[in-house]
Amino acid sequence: MLTAFARAFKTPDLRKKLLFTLGVIVLYRIGVHIPVPGVNYANVEFCMDRTHANSGLFGLVNMFSGGALLQITILALGIMPYITASIILQLLTVVIPRLEALKKEGQSGQAKITQYTRYLTVALAALEGTALVSAARAGSLFQGCTRQIVPDDSAFTTITMVITMTAGTCLTMWLGELVTDRGIGNGMSILMFISIAARFPGALWQVKLTGKLAGGWIEFFAVILVGLAMVALVVFVEQAQRRIPVQYAKRMIGRRSYGGTSTYIPLKVNQAGVVPVIFASSLLSVPALIAQFSGSKAAWATWTATVFTKGDHPVYLTAYVLLIVFFAFFYVAISFNPEEVADNMKTHGGFVPGIRAGRPTAGYLSYVLNRITWPGSLYLGLIALVPTVELVLFHANQNFPFGGTSILIIVSVGLETVKQIESQLQQRNYEGFLR
């Protein structure tokens, strides 16, 4: 593997792409540490040392921003608004005929959908920025900390902070698109990977400092072993797929024979990826936000604030797993159309051995997809519960980075990036990373 890395940097085109990607990563990490105007950074550091942020939406955004959310920097919102906008547009493509028509137009239609995604990203960034400023002023961003994070409550300061964080999201989106066009891999995924991985060293050392066995070293190495086991599990499941064999009949066009080849349709066990976890986390944060901004002291508001701000509450965990399973089936249903795949196979003379072409093939694909989605959705639910187990075993906080979601994203992005580098190496007759 080290030889493959050396060959990658010896190839001029690939070396430029890798160095450009590394340069963008450096700029992004610098922006993570620049505070927003109007924030008392000394009080932020004081609250960060003695408390932790709420779980739910703020905890999720903090993970995707590399810890910038709690520091309230210009890149506090990170890439989360763009991820949410992309998922929403992808869901609306199935519902709105206009977006579905644009999707079928090819590159021009996809460019238009990308433009809509950018507009929606700006709107979501402004909304989340306003929620972040309100939470910081209300003292709900850090539990148990009474110091003022935003001393000035004037409208000018609020607008300045929201505009600054929205501009930071636009900057992050632009940097990600630059990496996609001129670097290696998907730019948004790379920035998300870096944001999550950047928190690992500090969190591991915090486990060592708070550990009680042998000066914390036993907990330290235990967490590393758990992390390695989770990486192995995620790699195994993410690479697992059900291959549906497809046979193409021979066709004579003029004097030439076409077709007669055998291939397969790869159906991944985790076809939905990390989308169900993001959707479930975002949806579960809505009741707590409603209770917070309502200002009500009624029993329902107290119960909602108690249940949906504690990630270890049984009601929260049950709802979390059920929503993950639901969104896994929902996202697979809208992202993979068995009827469209069966029609395309029939048009090109393809068929599944033993299954008639057309509607029987679509029914067979739906049956197989439902069968493999069940273990995939339960796997996502199990992965999402890992932070709660770590909270009990290792006395970690709610945003401990070795959570299932972070490991899932890191492994998925790492595998895809390595595959892209390897494909470019093999184009130049070099051996790749996987031999």
Let me know if residue 69 belongs to a domain.
Answer: yes
The predicted-structure confidence for 270-317, as pLDDT tens digits, reads as follows 888 878 887 787 777 777 667 666 666 677 767 776 676 666 677 878
For residues 194-207, give the mean pLDDT.
79
Both 145 and 220 in one domain: the answer is no
In terms of C-beta density within 10 A (0-12 exposed, 13-18 middle, 19 or more buried), how is residue 60 classed? buried
Contacts of 354 (CB under 8 A, 6+ apart): none
Domain region containing 123: 1-198+406-435
Q: What is the model's pTM?
A: 0.78
The predicted-structure confidence for 397-412, as pLDDT tens digits, reads as follows 544 556 667 788 888 8
The predicted-structure confidence for 86-99, as pLDDT tens digits, reads as follows 888 887 887 888 88
Mean residue pLDDT across the chain: 79
Both 156 and 169 in one domain: the answer is yes
Q: Which CA distances in Å does 180 have to 24, 195, 252, 420?
A: 11, 17, 41, 12
The predicted-structure confidence for 309-358, as pLDDT tens digits, reads as follows 666 677 878 888 898 899 899 888 888 888 888 888 888 778 888 888 88
What does the DSSP 8-state code read for residue 36? P
Residue 249's domain is classified under what CATH number? 1.10.3370.10
Let me know if residue 155 belongs to a domain.
Answer: yes
Both 183 and 235 in one domain: the answer is no
Let me know if residue 204 belongs to a domain.
Answer: no
Query: How many domains does the chain contain in total?
Result: 2
| Distance of alpha carbon 230 from alpha carbon 220, whole angstroms | 16
Q: Quick check: helix, strand or coil at residue 255?
A: coil
- Confidence check: pLDDT of 229 > 90: no
For residues 368-397, give the mean pLDDT.
76
The single-letter code of the amino acid at 320 is Y
Let me know if residue 288 belongs to a domain.
Answer: yes
What does the DSSP 8-state code read for residue 311? T
Both 265 and 174 in one domain: the answer is no
Tell the residue number behind the tokens 């909304």, with chain if given. 127
Let me know if residue 300 belongs to a domain.
Answer: yes
- Confidence check: pLDDT of 142 > 80: no
Half-sphere exposure of 264 (CA within 13 A, CB side): 8
Both 52 and 194 in one domain: the answer is yes
What does the DSSP 8-state code read for residue 153? -
Both 381 and 412 in one domain: the answer is no
Let me know if residue 205 belongs to a domain.
Answer: no
Residue 35 Cα to chain centre, angstroms: 24
Residue 164: pLDDT band with limits 50, 70, 90: very high
- Confidence check: pLDDT of 375 > 80: yes
Let me know if residue 411 belongs to a domain.
Answer: yes
Both 239 and 291 in one domain: the answer is yes
Let me know if residue 264 belongs to a domain.
Answer: yes
